[in-house]
């Protein structure tokens, strides 16, 4: 991993030196690049790490992303693939799984269209190229040998809008870079398919008879262990990741109002394991008043448990 060292120059300014060994080997030659600002150093460090402890493709020491241009002059140049890596690596304020999903979407949906294009050049990637990408994503691509199969399935308007938002952010980071490497965002005026143009699945709720059948079946299959959990899920509207993360300390059974507080949920990690963390949004952190029918169920499941014990567990005591 590359590192950053700060040092004060003679004029009183601070230099931020990114240091690493070529290829990551202890015996390889030491490399370094100096930046005036810490954010620039952090971004460059992320690029070095993403390139396996090598200089990023197209980067010239002391100058940045440059390549020989016409007339012997240099012009800025960097592939979309390299800049997308540059965009994702230093992101803050996002879940680990979110960063993983960004990389997946970039690789799957963006690189086949823009991967080797010069992200700095309006001629290489402009509004027309973005519109062609939108049309391709909306229509999909059939297998040429078997028309019944899809090489790339059509995307729904909502999914396409989400991907376009990510693509917009990648280009906007190039517009806002210091120094700026692109003058305008090619995604800024893209017309997208209306979300309500698609055929959305209608929300379906269980009828009372259907719920009774499900409850009976779960009671038989799980020897009754899951019945309380199902009753509380239906009575409170909690999601699976929330109710399975519910702890005794989240329950208040004293006073006029008996409530539970949703303060944590299971979060999927890059390797598909789960880690206990905060709910995704502030709105998800909420207090739910317990109806009388659920109070006895909750009392039964928190009895003789410690504050950080899970309310609902398996027969083996696991969440």
139 and 261 part of one domain = no
pLDDT of residue 168: 95
242 and 177 part of one domain = no
Residue 19 counted as domain residue: no
Mean confidence (pLDDT) of the chain:
85
174 and 233 part of one domain = no
Confidence of residue 249 (pLDDT cuts 50, 70, 90): very high
Confidence of residue 42 (pLDDT cuts 50, 70, 90): confident
Confidence of residue 196 (pLDDT cuts 50, 70, 90): low
pLDDT of residue 280: 76
Residue 26 counted as domain residue: no
Residue 33 counted as domain residue: no
Kindly tell me if the per-residue pLDDT of 166 is higher than 90: yes
How far is C-alpha 44 from the geometric centre of its chain's CA atoms? 21
The secondary structure of 242-302 as a DSSP string is HHTT-BGGGEE-SSS--EEEE--EEEE-TTS-EEEE--SSTTTSEEEEPPHHHHHHHHHHH
Higher pLDDT, 212 or 70: 212
183 and 294 part of one domain = no
Asked which of 7-11, 81-85, 97-101, 181-185 is least confident by mean pLDDT, the reply is: 97-101
Greatest mean pLDDT among 17-21, 144-148, 282-286 lies in 17-21
Residue 312 counted as domain residue: no
pTM: 0.57
110 and 237 part of one domain = no
Residue 44 counted as domain residue: no
Structural domain of residue 291, as residue ranges? 208-302
How many distinct structural domains can be found in the chain? 2
Kindly tell me if the per-residue pLDDT of 92 is higher than 70: no
Asked which of 84-88, 106-110, 224-228 is least confident by mean pLDDT, the reply is: 224-228
Give the count of alpha carbons within 13 A of 123, CB side only. Answer: 1
224 and 124 part of one domain = no
Residue 173 counted as domain residue: yes
246 and 173 part of one domain = no
Segment holding 164, helix H or strand E:
helix 157-175
Sorted by sequence, the CB contacts under 8 Å of residue 63 that are 6+ apart come out as 74
pLDDT of residue 45: 86
212 and 184 part of one domain = no
Residue 132 counted as domain residue: yes
The length of the chain in residues reads 319
193 and 247 part of one domain = no
The secondary structure of 53-104 as a DSSP string is SSPPTTEETTTEEEEE-GGG-EEE--BHHHHHHHHHTT--SS-HHHHHHHHH
Residue 116 counted as domain residue: yes
CATH number, position 83: 1.10.150.130
Ramachandran bin of 32, using left for φ above 0, alpha for ψ from -120 to 50, beta for the remaining angles: beta
Segment holding 6, helix H or strand E:
strand 3-8
Domain end marker among 145, 166, 197: 197
Q: What's 196's DSSP letter?
A: G
Q: Cα(163)–Cα(106) distance, rounded to whole angstroms? A: 9
pLDDT of residue 66: 62
Higher pLDDT, 199 or 178: 178
- Please give the backbone phi and psi of residue 293, each rounded to the nearest 5 degrees, phi first: -65, -20
149 and 176 part of one domain = yes
192 and 212 part of one domain = no
pLDDT (mean) for 27-32: 89
pLDDT (mean) for 49-70: 72
65 and 185 part of one domain = yes
Asked which of 77-81, 139-143, 162-166, 223-227 is least confident by mean pLDDT, the reply is: 223-227
Q: Please count the helices (runs of H) and the strands (runs of E) in the chain.
A: 10, 13
* 3-8: strand order across its sheet: 3-8, 14-21, 30-35
Q: What is the pLDDT of residues 265-311, one digit of tens each?
A: 988 877 778 888 888 778 888 999 998 889 999 999 999 999 999 99
């Amino acid at each position: 991993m590359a590192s950053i060292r700060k040092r004060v120059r003679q004029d009183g300014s601070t230099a931020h030196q990114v240091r690493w060994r070529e290829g990551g080997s202890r015996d390889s030659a030491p490399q370094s690049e100096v930046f005036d600002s810490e954010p620039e150093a952090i971004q460059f460090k992320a690029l070095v790490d993403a390139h396996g402890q090598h200089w990023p493709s197209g980067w010239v020491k002391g100058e940045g992303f440059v390549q020989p241009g016409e007339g012997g002059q240099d012009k800025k140049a960097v592939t979309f693939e390299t800049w997308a890596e540059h965009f994702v690596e230093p992101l803050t304020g996002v879940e680990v799984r979110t960063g993983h999903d960004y990389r997946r979407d970039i690789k799957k949906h963006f690189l086949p269209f823009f991967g080797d294009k010069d992200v700095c050049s309006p001629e290489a990637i402009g509004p027309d190229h973005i519109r062609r990408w939108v049309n391709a994503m909306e229509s999909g691509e059939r297998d040429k040998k078997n028309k019944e199969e899809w090489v790339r399935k059509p995307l729904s308007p909502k999914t396409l809008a989400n991907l376009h938002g990510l693509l917009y952010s990648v280009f906007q980071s190039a517009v806002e870079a210091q120094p700026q490497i692109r003058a305008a965002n090619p995604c800024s005026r893209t017309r997208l398919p209306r979300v309500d143009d698609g055929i959305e699945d209608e929300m379906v709720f269980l009828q009372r008879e259907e719920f009774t059948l499900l409850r009976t079946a779960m009671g038989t299959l799980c020897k009754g262990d899951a019945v309380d959990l199902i009753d509380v899920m239906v009575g409170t509207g909690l999601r699976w990741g929330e109710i399975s993360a519910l702890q005794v300390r989240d329950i208040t059974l004293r006073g006029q109002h008996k409530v539970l507080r949703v303060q944590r949920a299971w979060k999927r990690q890059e390797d598909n394991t789960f880690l206990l963390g905060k709910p995704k949004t502030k709105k998800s952190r909420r207090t739910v008043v317990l109806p009388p029918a659920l109070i006895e169920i909750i009392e039964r499941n928190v009895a003789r448990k410690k504050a950080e014990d899970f309310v609902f567990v398996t027969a083996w005591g696991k969440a």
